[in-house]
């Protein structure tokens, strides 16, 4: 029974001492410790959420960059294909123009040549005619220098006519 009979002295001292201990520890230990711990927890949580946000931002930026890159690539391709088209067009145009010009030049040349040829031919014909006349005159003169020969020829010609 003595074991379960609380002694007033010990109850008194325990209560007072415990309350004082509670006050001292509350003021000097628990408050600063719990404040520091929760502050640290908050800062860790904040750091983690910041890291998450940074990661998200990073992903967003990367995505944006990729999109930009894709766009740039597409633009480049478009520009390149446009340029090729334009080049081909220009080349084609130049080709047709050159061909047209060439054929026109050739045509002109041919016309010129033909006309020159005609002139030359006409000249040659005249020369030949004059020459032939000259030659024929000279031959005739030579042949009909003597009278006998002339008579002979006349006689021949007359005979031929008779025969006809």
Nearest residue to 140 via CA among 149, 155, 161:
149
Nearer to another protein, 37 or 120 (CB): 37
Nearer to another protein, 12 or 144 (CB): 12
Q: Are 46 and 40 in contact (CB under 8 A)?
A: no
Tell me how far apart the alpha carbons of residues 164 and 160 are, in angstroms, rounded to a whole number.
Answer: 6
Asked if 7 interacts with another protein (CB under 8 A), we say yes
Retrieve residue 115's tokens.
């006309």
Asked if 106 interacts with another protein (CB under 8 A), we say no
**Residues 6 or more apart in contact with residue 144 via CB below 8 angstroms:** 150, 153
Asked if 100 interacts with another protein (CB under 8 A), we say no
Work out which of 39, 66, 77, 134 binds another protein, going by CB under 8 A.
39
| Contact residues for another protein, defined by CB under 8 A | 2-15, 17-19, 21-22, 24-26, 28-34, 36-37, 39-40, 43
């Amino acid at each position: 029974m003595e074991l379960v009979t609380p002694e007033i002295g010990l109850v008194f001292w325990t209560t007072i001492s415990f309350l004082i201990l509670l006050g001292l520890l509350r003021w000097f230990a628990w408050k600063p410790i719990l404040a520091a711990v929760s502050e640290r927890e908050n800062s860790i949580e904040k750091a983690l959420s910041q890291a998450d946000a940074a990661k998200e931002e990073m992903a967003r930026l990367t995505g944006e960059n990729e999109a930009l890159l894709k766009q740039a690539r597409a633009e480049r391709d478009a520009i390149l294909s446009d340029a090729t088209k334009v080049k081909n067009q220009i080349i084609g145009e130049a080709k047709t123009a050159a061909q047209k010009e060439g054929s026109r030049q050739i045509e002109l040349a041919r016309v010129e040549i033909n006309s020159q040829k005609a002139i030359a031919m006409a000249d040659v014909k005249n020369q030949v005619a004059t020459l032939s006349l000259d030659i024929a005159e000279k031959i005739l003169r030579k042949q009909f220098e003597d009278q006998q020969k002339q008579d002979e020829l006349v006689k021949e010609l007359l005979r031929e006519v008779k025969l006809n």
